[in-house]
Chains A and B, each alone.
Chain A
Amino acid sequence: MEMALTPVAKVTILGIPLSLFAVLIPLIGISAFCYIMARRLIPLAKAQPDPRFDRPKQRLKYVLKFWLGQYKQPRYLVAGVIHIVIFAGFLILSIRSTSLVIEGFKPHFVFPGLGGFLGDVYNFLKDYAATFVLIACIVAGIRRGIFTPERYKVPPKYGKDHTFEAIFVLGLIGTLMIFESLYSASIVAAQKQQGLHAEFLPPLTLSWIFAKMLGGTSKGFLQFINTTSYFIHDSVFFFFLCFLPFGKHFHVITSIFNVFFAKLDRGTVKPVKYGVTEEELDNLPYFGVKYLEDFTWKNILDFYTCVDCGRCADVCPANAAGRPLIPRFLTIKAREYIFDRFPVLGEIKPKEPLIGTIYEEDEIWSCTTCGSCEEECPVLNEYINKIVDLRRGMVDEGMVPQTLQKPLNALAKRGNPYGKMEKKRAEWTKSLEDIDVKIIGKKAQAETLYFVDSATSYDERANEIARAVVKILNACGEDFGILGKAEKDSGHEVRRFGEEMLFLTLRDQNIDAILNSGCKRIVTADPHAYNALKKDYDGIPPVEHISEYILRKINEGKLRFKPIEDPNLVFTYHDPCYLGRHNLIYDAPRKVLDAIPGLKRVEMERHKDRSFCCGGGGLMLFYEPPEEEQRMGQIRVKMANEAGANAIVVCCPFCLTHLEDGVKTTGFEGKIQVMDLTELIVKQLIIE
Chain B
Amino acid sequence: MEILVCVKRVPDPAENEIEINSDGTDIERDDLVYSVNEWDNYAVEEAIQIKDKVGGSVTVVTVGDEEADEVLRREMAMGADKGIHINDETLEETDGLGVAKALKAVVEKGNYDLILTGAQADDGAAQVGGMLAALLDLPYASLVNYIEIIDDNTLKIGREIEGGNQEISEIKLPCVLSIQTGINEPRYVGIRGIRKVAGVEIPEMELSDLGLSEDEVAPRVKRLDYFIPEMGEGAEILEGDMEEVAEKLVELLKAKGGIK
CB contact between A409 and one of B16, B17, B35 (< 8 Å): that residue: B35
Number of B residues, CB within 8 Å of A: 20
Q: Is the CB of A413 within 8 A of B15?
A: yes
Q: Is the CB of A408 within 8 A of B15?
A: no
Q: Please, which residue of chain A has its CB at the minimum distance from the CB of B78? A: A398
Chain B residues closer than 8 Å to A400, beta-carbon distance? 187-188
- Bound state CA distance, A414 and B189, in angstroms? 16
Pick from A421, A422, A500 the residue with the most CB of B within 10 Å. A421
Q: A410-B14, A419-B15 are in contact. Are A499 and B190 (CB under 8 A)?
A: yes
For chain B, residues 166 to 200, give those with C-beta under 8 angstroms from any C-beta of chain A.
Answer: 185-193, 195-196
Q: Mark B6-26, 1 if CB is under 8 A from A, else 0.
A: 000000101111000000000
- Bound state CA distance, A400 and B45, in angstroms? 14
The answer, yes or no, to whether B33 is at the interface (CB within 8 Å) is: yes
Q: Please, which residue of chain B has its CB at the minimum distance from the CB of A409? A: B35
Nearest-CB distance from B199 to chain A (Å)? 11
The answer, yes or no, to whether A157 is at the interface (CB within 8 Å) is: no
The answer, yes or no, to whether B31 is at the interface (CB within 8 Å) is: yes
Chain B residues closer than 8 Å to A501, beta-carbon distance? 190-192, 195
Nearest-CB distance from B41 to chain A (Å)? 10
Q: A406-B14, A414-B15 are in contact. Are A423 and B190 (CB under 8 A)?
A: no
Q: A282-B195, A421-B31, A423-B31 are in contact. Are A410 and B187 (CB under 8 A)?
A: no
For chain A, residues 510 to 537, give those with C-beta under 8 angstroms from any C-beta of chain B.
Answer: none
Chain A residues closer than 8 Å to B12, beta-carbon distance? 409, 413, 419
Pick from B16, B33, B190 the residue with the most CB of A within 10 Å. B190
The answer, yes or no, to whether A396 is at the interface (CB within 8 Å) is: yes
CB contact between B15 and one of A395, A396, A401, A410 (< 8 Å): that residue: A410
Pick from B35, B185, B191 the residue with the most CB of A within 10 Å. B191
Q: Is the CB of A502 within 8 A of B33?
A: no
Q: Is the CB of B31 within 8 A of A396?
A: no
Chain A residues closer than 8 Å to B186, beta-carbon distance? 402, 405
Chain B residues closer than 8 Å to A404, beta-carbon distance? 188
Nearest-CB distance from A261 to chain B (Å)? 30
The answer, yes or no, to whether A643 is at the interface (CB within 8 Å) is: no
Chain A residues closer than 8 Å to B187, beta-carbon distance? 397-400
Q: Please, which residue of chain B has its CB at the minimum distance from the CB of A407? A: B14
Q: Is the CB of A395 within 8 A of B190?
A: yes
Nearest-CB distance from A360 to chain B (Å)? 15
Q: A414-B15, A414-B33, A423-B31 are in contact. Are A395 and B195 (CB under 8 A)?
A: no
The answer, yes or no, to whether A412 is at the interface (CB within 8 Å) is: yes
Nearest-CB distance from A294 to chain B (Å)? 16
- Bound state CA distance, A70 and B212, in angstroms? 80
Instruction: Describe B's contact surface by its main secondary structure.
Output: loop
The answer, yes or no, to whether A287 is at the interface (CB within 8 Å) is: yes
The answer, yes or no, to whether A218 is at the interface (CB within 8 Å) is: no
Q: Please, which residue of chain A has its CB at the minimum distance from the CB of B31? A: A421
CB contact between A499 and one of B15, B191, B196 (< 8 Å): that residue: B191
The answer, yes or no, to whether A505 is at the interface (CB within 8 Å) is: yes
Q: Is the CB of B14 within 8 A of A395?
A: no
Q: A402-B185, A414-B33, A419-B14 are in contact. Are A505 and B190 (CB under 8 A)?
A: no
- Bound state CA distance, A414 and B187, in angstroms? 21
For chain A, residues 411 to 437, give those with C-beta under 8 angstroms from any C-beta of chain B.
Answer: 412-414, 419, 421-423
- Bound state CA distance, A414 and B192, in angstroms? 18
Chain B residues closer than 8 Å to A406, beta-carbon distance? 14
- Bound state CA distance, A423 and B193, in angstroms? 28
- Bound state CA distance, A406 and B186, in angstroms? 12
Nearest-CB distance from B116 to chain A (Å)? 19
Nearest-CB distance from A284 to chain B (Å)? 9
Nearest-CB distance from A491 to chain B (Å)? 12
- Bound state CA distance, A406 and B191, in angstroms? 14
- Bound state CA distance, A421 and B12, in angstroms? 12
- Bound state CA distance, A573 and B35, in angstroms? 43
Q: Please, which residue of chain A has its CB at the minimum distance from the CB of B36? A: A409
- Bound state CA distance, A410 and B35, in angstroms? 10
- Bound state CA distance, A405 and B14, in angstroms? 12
Nearest-CB distance from A670 to chain B (Å)? 12
- Bound state CA distance, A239 and B190, in angstroms? 51
Nearest-CB distance from A504 to chain B (Å)? 8
Q: Is the CB of A287 within 8 A of B188?
A: no
Chain B residues closer than 8 Å to A412, beta-carbon distance? 191
Q: Is the CB of A502 within 8 A of B188?
A: no
Q: Is the CB of B33 within 8 A of A413?
A: yes
Nearest-CB distance from B20 to chain A (Å)? 16
Nearest-CB distance from A240 to chain B (Å)? 48
Q: Is the CB of B35 within 8 A of A413?
A: yes
Q: Mark A259-281, 1 if CB is under 8 A from B, else 0.
A: 00000000000000000000001
Chain A residues closer than 8 Å to B17, beta-carbon distance? 421
Chain A residues closer than 8 Å to B31, beta-carbon distance? 421-423
Chain A residues closer than 8 Å to B193, beta-carbon distance? 396, 398
Chain B residues closer than 8 Å to A399, beta-carbon distance? 187-188
Q: Please, which residue of chain A has its CB at the minimum distance from the CB of B185? A: A402
Pick from B14, B186, B193 the residue with the most CB of A within 10 Å. B14
Nearest-CB distance from A408 to chain B (Å)? 7
Nearest-CB distance from A96 to chain B (Å)? 57
Q: A419-B14, A419-B15 are in contact. Are A282 and B188 (CB under 8 A)?
A: no
Q: Please, which residue of chain A has its CB at the minimum distance from the CB of B181? A: A402
Chain B residues closer than 8 Å to A421, beta-carbon distance? 16-17, 31
Pick from B17, B35, B189, B192 the residue with the most CB of A within 10 Å. B192
- Bound state CA distance, A401 and B31, in angstroms? 28
- Bound state CA distance, A35 and B15, in angstroms? 60
Q: Is the CB of B195 within 8 A of A408?
A: no
Q: Mark B69-102, 1 if CB is under 8 A from A, else 0.
A: 0000000001000000000000000000000000
- Bound state CA distance, A395 and B195, in angstroms? 14
6 contacts between A and B (CB under 8 A): A405-B188, A406-B14, A413-B15, A413-B33, A421-B31, A422-B31
Q: Known contacts A398-B193, A409-B15; can you find 19 more A-B pairs with CB under 8 A? A: A282-B196, A395-B188, A397-B187, A398-B188, A401-B185, A402-B186, A406-B14, A408-B188, A408-B190, A409-B12, A410-B14, A413-B35, A414-B15, A419-B14, A500-B192, A501-B190, A501-B191, A501-B192, A501-B195
The 4 closest A-B pairs by CB, nearest first: A398-B187, A400-B188, A419-B15, A501-B191
